[in-house]
Structure 1
């Protein structure tokens, strides 16, 4: 059965735990730079948006 990663941008708090979980799942290391999910934050609007690669 295929796995699906569901992202709800409206629920994103900018904690970046998704980056840690993704990097550990794919690289066996807690290294956010190796993550396939990246959280972009715009401080002026206080908005965080998770973006993921199209391979997942």
Structure 2
């Protein structure tokens, strides 16, 4: 898994922090999505977006 950094225009104090540890499933799907977007693979990017939606519903609701 790769670490992805985002440049936020907000001061560090105002950025929301998750009260729980990051979900490994979310992290894996995000990494696959970022890689597919970076590689220009639109079909895989769409598939990972669908996978994230299904994962969020199943694991976090």
TM-score, normalised by the number of residues in structure 1: 0.30
Larger % of helix: which? 2
Larger % of strand: which? 1
